Amino acid sequence: MSRSRTSRPRTWGAQGWIRAGVLAAGTGAVVLAAQAAPVHPPKAAAPTARAAAMPVDAASLVCPGGEGKDAATLALASAPMQLSSMLGGGGQLQVNEAGHSSAVTLARGHSMTRTWKNGPLDVVARGASAPGITATQFHEANGAMSAQACTQATAEAWIPVGDKQPGRLLTVTLVNPGARAVSVDVDVRAADGALDSAAIADKAVPAHGRVSVNIPADALAHAAVVVHVRSEDGAVVASVRDRVGETERKGDDVAAQYAPPAPVQEMPGVPVVDRSVRVRLAAPGSRAAVVRLQASGKDAGDVSERVVTVPVGRSLDVTLDGIDDDVAAVRASSQENIIASAFASSASKKSRDFTWVPAAPALDAAAGASLDGARHAGRLVVMGEGRATSVTLVVSDPSGKATRRRLDVPANGWASVDVPKNATVWLLRDDGSADAAPVHAAVLVRDVGADQPVTSVPLVPTPWLRAPVEVTQR
């Protein structure tokens, strides 16, 4: 990010003088004379001009890769010209994998897939290929599907995962894209507080490396598990693979944090099972959180609402009933910073797949998610926060063919669009101003039919613009 450069205005203070004579007489004082020099007005500061924001010229996205024998499919996409006229041509990307680098050519507006077993994978874009790049990692086997948006590293993450279901397994994956080793602490919290027996301290993650650690099985005897990852000497990309069974899979998903702790958390596109949705909440701060939960179907009157209290340092599972739609948008709001993620199954004994729908980040400029390689269609859900707004929606296929439309999002409501197989969806906030109404979006990846695998992909901000630079006019 470029630093703002502003000249320091030259000002001249009052350079005068005062001469006074004071004669003391008894208990009184008489001012005999006073004279002040003229005061020169300050010179006006040199005017500054804010240069137009320019597209980013470098970007990096990190994907954790597959686990063991399980290969992962990378869907890599470049935003089409229909999204914004500022986008230039495509170009080469550098893909770093297990110490090896390779160049990949991706035309502007196109998408591509790549399969690999072990990771991590670091996608680096420079020049014209940097703005509007997005990547998603998929894995599907034995009727279960998982997805994870490739992102940048952070120093801390809170990840709700797990259940008391027999055979449930949790594996934490830590990826360090930096040039120095990082020490990471992993602790686990639940409805009854911190689980000290499950904590992992000072786990070393080598430079450009990845490590995986299993959460002890007895932790899942506790309700409402939340995994907390933190590092004080670097940043990592943290995720938790949540699955049932080692061989015959009955459910599989990868959970991660995409929105940091905040007073409002939005979860778009939550599957409704038996007219209900389930949400896991956590209060990571120093005070208990009173949380208002709202789950809404597409119709304005299709709303379920509850108010609950989450004790400090603990977590809570909450069920919202009476929703008639097959998909809902869920909002959690509080005076305190909170963590929230929704959980849903595929509602079928034949599939038994499940998905976590994490809180989606606010769209600050542009965002994208690619379904190329997922082999399933999806449903894009866009939530509005506060007042009504609109966004530009572009849907593109792998060859770069794209359609553009305006999508109106009602105040505190949501809009949805069907997404075809192998498509990539892009959103651009229309007015681009800092005070625009926030929106949050995700794609629920699921074909028609309750026996289909299910997963959720949040739309995360894509590298877009550099901060504008203030230049002094001389």
pLDDT tens, 55-72? Answer: 888 899 999 887 666 788
Among candidate residues 447, 441, 401, the one with its CA nearest the CA of residue 420: 447
Note whether 296 and 306 are within 8 A (CB): no
**Residue 136 or 96, more confident:** 136
pLDDT of residue 232: 85
pLDDT of residue 32: 31
> Can you name the residues that pair with 62 across neighbouring β-strands?
122, 151
CA dist., res. 42 & res. 275, Å (int): 70
C-alpha distances in Å from residue 177, one per residue of 5, 72, 120, 239: 30, 18, 8, 14
C-alpha distances in Å from residue 312, one per residue of 160, 200, 228, 238, 279: 16, 21, 14, 23, 17
Whether the per-residue pLDDT at 226 is higher than 50: the answer is: yes
Note whether 443 and 425 are within 8 A (CB): yes
In this structure, the strands spanning 91-97 and 121-126 are antiparallel
What pTM value is reported for the model?
0.85
pLDDT of residue 49: 55
Q: Where does residue 398 fall: left (phi above 0), alpha (psi -120 to 50 degrees), or beta otherwise?
A: alpha
Q: In the structure encoding, which two tokens stand for residue 208, read together?
A: 């450009």
Which strand (E) or helix (H) includes residue 402? Answer: strand 402-409
Model confidence band, residue 469 (pLDDT cutoffs 50, 70, 90): low
Note whether 422 and 312 are within 8 A (CB): no
Residue type at position 102:
S
Model confidence band, residue 349 (pLDDT cutoffs 50, 70, 90): low
Among candidate residues 471, 428, 408, the one with its CA nearest the CA of residue 86: 428
Lowest mean pLDDT among 2-16, 148-162, 341-355: 2-16
CA dist., res. 53 & res. 353, Å (int): 44
pLDDT of residue 25: 38
Whether the per-residue pLDDT at 4 is higher than 70: the answer is: no
The yes-or-no answer to whether 152-257 and 262-359 have a common fold is yes
Residues 6+ apart with CB under 8 A from 261: 158, 284, 285, 337, 338, 339
The mean predicted confidence, pLDDT, of the chain is 84
**For the structural domain made of 152-257, what CATH number should be given?**
2.60.290.11
Among candidate residues 258, 292, 228, the one with its CA nearest the CA of residue 442: 258
Q: Is 129 helix (H, G, I), strand (E, B) or coil?
A: helix
Looking at residues 3-25, what average pLDDT do you find?
36
pLDDT of residue 434: 54
Note whether 325 and 301 are within 8 A (CB): no
For the stretch 380-419, pLDDT in tens is: 999 988 788 999 999 999 999 999 999 999 988 899 999 9
Among candidate residues 183, 228, 205, 174, the one with its CA nearest the CA of residue 65: 174
pLDDT of residue 37: 47
Domain ranges of the chain: 152-257, 262-359
CA dist., res. 330 & res. 221, Å (int): 27
Q: Is 408 helix (H, G, I), strand (E, B) or coil?
A: strand
CA dist., res. 250 & res. 242, Å (int): 11
C-alpha distances in Å from residue 2, one per residue of 51, 55, 56, 57, 462: 12, 12, 10, 11, 18
CA dist., res. 428 & res. 430, Å (int): 6
Among candidate residues 3, 130, 79, 54, the one with its CA nearest the CA of residue 465: 54
Q: Does domain 262-359 have CATH number 3.40.50.150?
A: no
Note whether 111 and 178 are within 8 A (CB): no
Lowest mean pLDDT among 49-53, 425-429, 458-462: 49-53
% of the chain residues with pLDDT over 90: 58
In this structure, the strands spanning 378-384 and 414-419 are antiparallel
